[in-house]
């Protein structure tokens, strides 16, 4: 179905893999469009509860495709950036959780792609960076915005201005990734996190994601009002009744996504 990706669902987990290992999974226009379509499929797939996004081979995504970008004029560059933003924004706001399994290089557009996910878990061999200024351009798929929100304005400026590439441990220290594991533990760890999330009430997880994403840039008063509204919405589900009953009855809940 996809030329540059692999999409499969197993035991409630959607595995979305970028498959351009000969180009270190670089993002060209085709990959960007197919990522959008794959996450739309995930969003609509009732059998998929959590997505794990990764790259084939030794790279997560090594960046945008420089060969494609090199000949762009200003208008073409803006259209390319718009396509990237459309996909990254969609991934960030898809209704279900997305975990980035960062197995290698996550540079430029690859770092931006990982930042569009809810949770980043990295192999100890992973490398992160926004090296665009070394090529005479700037991050164009959300890097100037999401990086500062994750690691703070000063650190984001440092990484973008210097184009420094950092290892997984440093990425964890500054808050760019949530967990660092050995390479052979990467996918099992991501799957364990996905299964933990899937053991919780799906509607509540989705409502929490919506509240976090939409409240993040609000003032505290508006964000508090949003949380109050979303808290009330969570009480309209059958899963709320099941979860509270199970707690009071000292048993494991059986959520039905209703």
Catalytic positions are 112, 132
* DSSP-based three-state secondary structure for 86: helix
| β-strands 98-102, 119-123 pairing | parallel
Q: What one-character DSSP code corresponds to residue 97?
A: -
The edge-to-edge listing of strands for the beta sheet with 13-18 is: 5-10, 13-18, 50-55, 98-102, 119-123, 179-181
The whole-angstrom separation of Cα 240 and Cα 217 is: 28
For the chain, how far is it from start to end, CA to CA, in angstroms? 31
Task: Describe the chain by its helix, strand, coil percentages, rounded to 5.
Answer: 55, 15, 30
Indicate the helix (H) or strand (E) that contains 4. none
| Cβ atoms within 10 Å, residue 98 | 22
Contact at 8 Å (CB) between 143 and 174?
no
Query: CA-CA distance, 199 to 49, in Å (whole number)?
Result: 10
CA distance 223 to 215: 5
Rounded-to-integer distance, Cα 174 and Cα 182, Å: 19
Phi, psi of 55 (to 5 degrees): -125, 150
And the tokens for 250?
């000292």
């Amino acid at each position: 179905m996809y030329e540059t990706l692999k999409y499969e669902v197993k035991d409630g987990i959607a595995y979305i893999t970028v498959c351009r290992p000969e180009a270190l999974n670089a993002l060209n226009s085709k990959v960007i469009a197919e990522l959008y379509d794959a996450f739309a499929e995930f969003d609509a797939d009732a059998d998929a509860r959590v997505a794990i996004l990764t790259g084939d081979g030794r790279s997560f995504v090594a960046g945008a495709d420089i060969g494609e970008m090199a000949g762009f004029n200003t208008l073409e560059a803006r259209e390319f950036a718009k396509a990237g933003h459309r996909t990254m924004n969609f991934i960030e706001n898809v209704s279900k959780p997305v975990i980035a399994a960062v197995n290698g290089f996550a540079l430029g557009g690859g770092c931006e792609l990982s930042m569009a996910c809810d949770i980043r878990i990295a192999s100890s061999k992973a490398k992160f960076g926004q090296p665009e200024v070394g090529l005479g351009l700037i991050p164009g798929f959300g890097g100037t915005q999401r990086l500062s929100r994750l690691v703070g304005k000063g650190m984001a400026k440092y990484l973008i201005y210097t184009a420094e590439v950092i290892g997984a441990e440093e990425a964890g220290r500054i808050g760019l990734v949530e967990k660092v594991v050995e390479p052979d533990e990467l996918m099992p760890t991501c799957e364990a996190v996905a299964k933990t999330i899937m053991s919780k009430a799906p509607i509540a997880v989705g409502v929490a994601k919506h509240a976090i994403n939409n409240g993040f840039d609000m003032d505290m008063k508006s964000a508090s009002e949003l949380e109050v509204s979303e808290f009330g919405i969570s009480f309209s589900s059958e899963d709320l009744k099941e979860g509270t009953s199970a707690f009071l009855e000292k048993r494991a809940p059986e959520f039905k996504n209703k």
